[in-house]
Each structure stands twice: as C-alpha cells, then as structure tokens.
C-alpha cells in the first residue's frame, strides 16, 4: 500500500518519493527497479468505483456552486453565515440527497 502511494505521488514529489522508495523497496528487494520513476504507474481497480456516490457528490457540488453564485449575485460574503437557505430540488433524486444527512453541507 505504501509503495503504491509512493508511486502515485512520485510525479508531484519526486525527491521525497524517491527517498521513500529507496528506503522501503530497494533496501529490501535487490531485483526492484532502481528508481520509483522506473516503476509502472498503478492501475485503477474499476470495481471499486461507486457510481451512485459519484453522482451524489456531483449533485452536492452543483448545489454548492449554485449557492455560491447566488451569494455573489447578492453581494453576500462567503464568510457571512446564512440563517436559512431554501433549495427546491429539481427531481426526486435531488430531494432524497438533500434529506440524507450523509451529504449535509454545513
């Protein structure tokens, strides 16, 4: 797991990940590639993708962006708390999402 994270982070943090890779992998496995940058990038496991969760998060982001847009139009600063925000869901799926405490936006 840590070696996978190291390979994923390598493009953004090349020196740090190389140091981690040298200490974790090369010091234990002499047959390993000599650099984290010479290893294959990890493949995604598509069976772990939760389509429903992705759709729900996209809906929450859409609602958040609409609320921010309304704040901008009304000159209400982002740091100013709102006592109430009324939302009319566009369909039944959005209504269920708004009622689900798991996706509550504070």
Span 9-51, pLDDT tens digits: 999 999 999 999 999 999 999 999 999 999 999 999 999 999 9
Cα distance between residue 44 and residue 13, in whole Å? 20
- pLDDT category at 98 given cuts 50, 70, 90 is confident
Cα distance between residue 59 and residue 54, in whole Å? 9
Is pLDDT of 106 > 70? Answer: no
- Return mean pLDDT, the chain: 90
- pLDDT category at 105 given cuts 50, 70, 90 is low
Helices (H), 2-91: 2-9, 14-21, 51-73
Q: Identify which has the larger pLDDT, 85 or 106.
A: 85
Only one residue has tokens 């797991």, namely: 1
Query: Which residues touch 25 (CB under 8 Å, ≥6 apart)?
Result: 3, 32, 36
């Amino acid at each position: 797991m840590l070696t996978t994270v190291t390979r994923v982070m390598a493009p953004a943090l090349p020196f740090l990940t190389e140091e981690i890779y040298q200490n974790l992998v090369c010091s234990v496995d002499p047959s390993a590639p000599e650099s984290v940058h010479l290893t294959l990038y990890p493949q995604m496991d598509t069976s772990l993708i939760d389509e429903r969760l992705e759709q729900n998060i996209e809906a929450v982001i859409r609602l958040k962006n609409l609320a921010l847009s309304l704040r901008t139009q009304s000159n209400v600063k982002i740091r100013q708390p709102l006592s109430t925000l009324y939302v009319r869901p566009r369909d039944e799926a959005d209504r269920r999402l708004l009622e689900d405490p798991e996706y509550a936006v504070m």
